[in-house]
Amino acid sequence: MTTTASAPSETRTYQQFIDGQWADAASGATFERTSPYDGHVVATYPNGGMEDAQRAIEAARRVFDEGKWSNSPARERSKILRDAADLIMANRDELSRSISEEVGKPLNIAKGEVAMTAEVLQYFAGKALDLKGEAITQEVADAVGLIVHEPVGVVGIITPWNFPLLLISWKIGPAIAAGCTMVAKPSHYTPGCALILARLLSEAGLPDGVFNVVTSETDNGALVGQHLASSEQVDKIAFTGSTTSGKAVMRAAANNVKKLSLELGGKSPNIVFADAAVDAAVAGAFFGIYLNSGQVCQAGSRLLVSNSIKDEFVEKLMNMGKGLKLGNPLEPTTTMGPLINENQLKKVEGYITAGKQEATLLMGGNRPNGELSNGLFVEPTIFDGVSNDATIAREEIFGPVLSVLSFDDLDDVIRTANDTMYGLAAAVWTKDINVAFKVARGLRAGTVWVNAYHGTGLAQMPYGGYKQSGIGRELGGSGLEEYMETKSIQIKLR
C-alpha cells in the first residue's frame, strides 16, 4: 500500500513462474532487492538455482515439442500479443513503479519504457499475421521449391537491469510471433517487471509453459545463465548484457552449436560539425549521455565536436547540466536517479579518478552531499580535452560521464570514431546532407542517427552492434528472423 505517490511501495514478495505455476526456489532460498535511492527493501525473490532452471527448460521443451503452440494459428499468437500490450498499458503504474524503484530511474522515464514495451508487442502482433514463405516455381520445369520459416524452438532469454522490461519485450515479441517457447532469466537487480509480465501474458492467454521466469541472485544468476547457454535442450540464446558476459555465454553456447543473438556494450561517438543546429545538438548530446544516469548501452559517451565551436558547445552543455534534478526517482520533478548498485558506483568513481589524470574535469566528478549522500548518486560529469587513447574514451563507463574530444577534419573524425572495439551506435549533426551521408556510411556501427540522439520516433528499426557490440539484430523484420529457422522443401514432380 502506498501512502503518497513518491513514498516507497510496500515490500513485495514474488515467486518464480515455471510451467504456468508460481513457485518458490527448490532450495527455499530467497534474496532481496533494495532501492539504490534509499536502501529500502523493494521486493523479495526466490533465489532459483540449477534445479529451478532445469524445470523451466523442461517445461519449455515439452510444450514446444508437443507442437500445439508452435503450430498454433498465427492469428491466435497475434491476439495474445495484442491483448498483452493492452494489459501492459492497463497495468502501467504497477510496472513503472517496479522499474523505477528497482533501477532507480525517474518514474516518468519508467512509464515511457512501459509504453514502448506495449508498442513492441503490438508491432510483433502485426508481424505474426504476415509470416509467409516463398515458392520457387520457375527454376526447372519438373521441381518446385518451398522456402518455409519455422520457430527456432526453446529460447533462453538473459537480460540486464537498465531497461528491464523493454529489453525482454524485444525478445518475447518475436519469439511469441514465431511460436517459440522461452525461459527468461532477468537481472537479479530488476526481476519484478519480468514476473509482472509473466502474469499479464498468462492473463492474455499465453499457454502454460510457453514463458517461464527463473529469478536468481548474483552468483546463481551467472550459473543459471550458463546453464541456459550450455543446455542441449535450449535451441537459442537471446542475450543482452556486457561484452564480457556475452563472451562467456558464447563459449557455453558452443556446447550444442546454439543460435545466438548478443546485444552487448558500447562506447558510442556523437559527432557535431560546425554547421550543426547547435542548440538541438547540445540537447541531443545531453540526452545522449545522461538518460538513465548514463546507464544506456547506446549512450553517446564520446562527444566529438568541431574545434571551431567546441568551447561554445561545451559551455551550453554545462548550463543544461545545471538544470538536472537528482533525487527520489518516484518524485515527478526528478530528472536523474542514482546508479544501480555499489559496484557500479565504485566503477564509475574509478573512471572519474582515471579521467582526472588523463583530461580536464569541467563539471561534476563527485557524489552529491546532503540528503542525496545516502543514495548511489554521481553528479553529471564532463571531461574535456580527452584523447581517444584515454581510458575514459575507450572503456564503457555506464554512468553519467561524458568525454569530449575535438576534431578539424572529416576523414580524421570518422577514423577516430571507428577507433574502438565497439560498434553499437553513433550520431552525426550537420546541415550538409553530403557530410551526413558520408559519415553515416563511414561509421562502423549498427545504428547511426543524423541530427538526433536516441529518439527519432522510429521505434522498430533493426537494433544491434558491429564488432564487439554484438551479433544479430533485434526489432524490425530482422528481429523476427532471429527466432525462425529456414527450411528448403524440394519437391520433384514425377
Residues that bind ligand NAD (CB under 6 A): 158-162, 167, 185, 187, 221-222, 225-226, 229, 240-242, 245, 248-249, 263-266, 297, 396, 398, 424, 465, 470
CB of 221 to ligand NAD, least distance (A): 3
- The phi-psi region of residue 470 (left if phi > 0; otherwise alpha if psi is between -120 and 50; otherwise beta) is left
Residue nearest to ligand NAD (CB): 225
Q: Name the grid cell of 142.
A: 519438373
CB of 123 to ligand NAD, least distance (A): 17
Residue 281 or residue 426: which is nearer to ligand NAD going by CB? 426
Pick the catalytic residue: 217, 297, 396, 474?
297
CB of 231 to ligand NAD, least distance (A): 12
Nearest to 259 by CA among 202, 174, 198, 191: 174
CB of 119 to ligand NAD, least distance (A): 17
Residue 327 or residue 423: which is nearer to ligand NAD going by CB? 423
Residue 96 or residue 469: which is nearer to ligand NAD going by CB? 469
Residue 251 or residue 487: which is nearer to ligand NAD going by CB? 251
- Burial of residue 448 (CB within 10 Å: 0-12, 13-18, 19+) is buried
End-to-end CA distance of the chain: 72
Q: CB of 388 within 8 A of CB of 271?
A: no
All residues at 6 or more sequence positions from 420 whose CB lies less than 8 Å from its CB, including other chains: 267, 269, 302, 394, 467
Q: What angle do CA 38, 44, 49 make, to 5 degrees?
A: 130
> Is 297 among the residues known to form the active site?
yes
Q: CB of 131 within 8 A of CB of 77?
A: no
CB of 417 to ligand NAD, least distance (A): 18
CB of 102 to ligand NAD, least distance (A): 12
Tell me the residue ranges of DSSP E strands in 10-106: 12-13, 16-18, 21-23, 30-34, 41-46
Residue 209 or residue 446: which is nearer to ligand NAD going by CB? 446
Q: How many CB atoms lie within 10 A of CB 198?
A: 24
All residues at 6 or more sequence positions from 275 whose CB lies less than 8 Å from its CB, including other chains: 430, 431, 432
Pick the catalytic residue: 263, 379, 474, 482?
263
**Residue 212, beta-bridge partner list:** 183
Q: CB of 446 within 8 A of CB of 434?
A: no
Nearest to 27 by CA among 41, 43, 46: 46
**Residue 18, beta-bridge partner list:** 21
CB of 161 to ligand NAD, least distance (A): 5
> Is 58 among the residues known to form the active site?
no
Residue 179 or residue 399: which is nearer to ligand NAD going by CB? 399
Residue 188 or residue 316: which is nearer to ligand NAD going by CB? 188
- Catalytic site positions: 263, 297
